[in-house]
Chain A
Amino acid sequence: MVEVEIAKSMAEEVKLFKTWSTPFGLRVVWALKLKGIPYEAIDEDLSNKSALLLQYNPVYKKVPVLVHNGKPISESLVILEYIDETWKQNPLLPQDPLEKARERFWAKFNDEKLLQSIWGVFAKEGKEREEAMAASMENLKFVEEELKGKKFFGGEKIGLADITFGWLANLICVFEEVTGLKMIDERFPLLLAWIQEFSQHPIIKDAGPPHDKLVIKYQALYEKFHPAK
């Protein structure tokens, strides 16, 4: 009895500020679950941010924010590396510096190039949308190439790059449904196979927001970007 109480009082306190739909927050959820770390999720209303969120992330005032024993960390990729360095089980990054650099490169590529180009297809119109589509296809080709001979970007197991690309498994189908534009088609067989593997992983499977709820949200957003004339 006493042992349990001591263990409880020494327990790690991990809180995650996010929203129900943010793909950046979902990355952190996946990482915490993959390592079996218990945490408390706090879903924010971004139109009415909590005082705590503003206190923990004064620079950007955004989610996700991880708070570990009262200490806040912001920016999802920074959070993921922190989680990997603090809880060593089921590593997200390999030991070898060159392989580590490769994972970081692709995580950055997703956030700075792929995400931007696909968002452009969703949000823009006319020529800007055409350019975004062309860029997206270019970017997806690079990602497809990177998957050659691998089950996951991390090799045999899910790693940092997989978690970062993970939105392709649950969110791009929502974009495709809402826009009526197919982006990941038979030109990308390795990506399609990876999406299957990733989505079916026991930790990933039921961790995300429901598809239907996402469709409703993004449909409303789409109508805002493309008002009926």
Chain B
Amino acid sequence: MAEELVLLDFWLSAFGMRVRIALAEKGIKYEYKEEDLRNKSALLLQMNPVHKKTPVLIHNGKPVCESLIQVQYIDEVWHHKSPLLPSDPYQRAIARFWADFVDKKIFELGTKTWQTKGEEQETAKKGFIESLKLLEGELGDKPYFGGENLGYVDVVLVPFYSWFYAYEKCGNFSIEAECPKLIAWAKRCMQMESVSKSLPDQEKVYGFVLHLKKMYGIE
């Protein structure tokens, strides 16, 4: 029975990128469907009635929602190829902790660096850099968060790298100046095809962010 795998996604979504990377790492074939978020498809609304958001992974007609849950699902179903989570329960707990940290801090603070200004923006920038520094601490001397190979936390965090240029331009700061180790890690990840083919070009992201800022009337 042929596996049928569909990914409902939006090119800019860091959350969708996570799923693309996981699928690419494991060499899994799937159909990519680009959603227009201002005109969501009937399929999206049917498959994710609770949140009505992308990404949605549809496996043999059954939906899986929420990117961290999707990545873990992919890792469990296709467990024999390029495992993302370690096998030891304690190491898994550490990986899950940091993935959750990325969700709690990086997206929200990163978004604030381009959506806000003045003191609110300064506070967000500070918090964003502090969070990246904590992640640098967790990375330590390892090439990847997963050790010698890409792991769960790498897949969860690296998509935001495609947004860094936009954050830097809008927030008028340099992430590399503050977190050189993290940027080195991101560039290392980008050398993997599974990552480079899943992330949009940083300039394109910045262009879209400028367009969004105009639309929302920010600055």
Name A's B-contacting residues (CB within 8 A): 59, 68, 71, 73-75, 77-79, 81-82, 85-86, 97-98, 100-101, 104-105, 108-109, 142
Given A68-B90, A104-B69, 14 more A-B residue pairs with CB atoms under 8 Å apart are: A73-B93, A77-B100, A78-B96, A81-B93, A97-B76, A97-B77, A98-B59, A100-B72, A100-B73, A100-B76, A101-B70, A104-B66, A105-B69, A109-B50
Main secondary structure of the interface of A (DSSP, over half): helix
Chain A to chain B: the 7 pairs with minimum beta-carbon distance, closest first? A85-B89, A82-B93, A97-B76, A78-B96, A101-B73, A73-B93, A101-B64
Let me know if B197 is at the binding interface, CB within 8 A. no
Which residue of B has the minimal Cβ distance to A68?
Answer: B90
- A–B complex contacts, Cβ < 8 Å, 7 sampled: A59-B134, A81-B93, A85-B89, A85-B92, A98-B73, A100-B72, A142-B50
Let me know if B97 is at the binding interface, CB within 8 A. yes
Knowing A104-B69, A104-B72, the reply to whether A82 touches B101 (Cβ < 8 A) is: no
Task: Give residues 79-116 of B contacting A (CB, 8 Å).
Answer: 89-90, 92-94, 96-97, 100-101
List B contacts of A68 (CB < 8 A): 90
- From the candidates A73, A78, A108, name the one contacting B69 in the complex (CB within 8 A): A108
List A contacts of B89 (CB < 8 A): 82, 85-86
Q: How far is the CB of A5 from chain B (nearest CB, A)?
A: 27
A98 and B69 contact, CB distance less than 8 A: no
How far, in angstroms, from A77 to B104 measured CA to CA in the complex?
14
Which residue of B has the minimal Cβ distance to A104?
Answer: B69
Knowing A71-B90, A82-B90, A104-B69, the reply to whether A98 touches B62 (Cβ < 8 A) is: yes
How far, in angstroms, from A86 to B87 measured CA to CA in the complex?
11
List B contacts of A109 (CB < 8 A): 50
Q: How far is the CB of A228 from chain B (nearest CB, A)?
A: 32
Knowing A71-B90, A108-B66, the reply to whether A101 touches B97 (Cβ < 8 A) is: no
Knowing A78-B96, A98-B59, the reply to whether A73 touches B90 (Cβ < 8 A) is: yes
Q: How far is the CB of B85 from chain A (nearest CB, A)?
A: 10
Q: How far is the CB of B93 from chain A (nearest CB, A)?
A: 4
Q: How far is the CB of B30 from chain A (nearest CB, A)?
A: 16
List A contacts of B132 (CB < 8 A): none
List B contacts of A100 (CB < 8 A): 72-73, 76
How far, in angstroms, from A184 to B92 measured CA to CA in the complex?
36
A82 and B92 contact, CB distance less than 8 A: yes
Task: Give residues 39-82 of B contacting A (CB, 8 Å).
Answer: 50, 59, 62, 64-66, 69-70, 72-73, 76-77
How far, in angstroms, from A164 to B8 measured CA to CA in the complex?
28
List B contacts of A97 (CB < 8 A): 73, 76-77
Interface string of B147-183 (1 = CB under 8 A from A): 0000000000000000000000000000000000000
Knowing A97-B76, A101-B64, A101-B69, the reply to whether A78 touches B134 (Cβ < 8 A) is: no
Q: How far is the CB of B39 from chain A (nearest CB, A)?
A: 22
How far, in angstroms, from A59 to B97 measured CA to CA in the complex?
10
B65 and A105 contact, CB distance less than 8 A: yes
B59 and A59 contact, CB distance less than 8 A: no
List A contacts of B92 (CB < 8 A): 81-82, 85
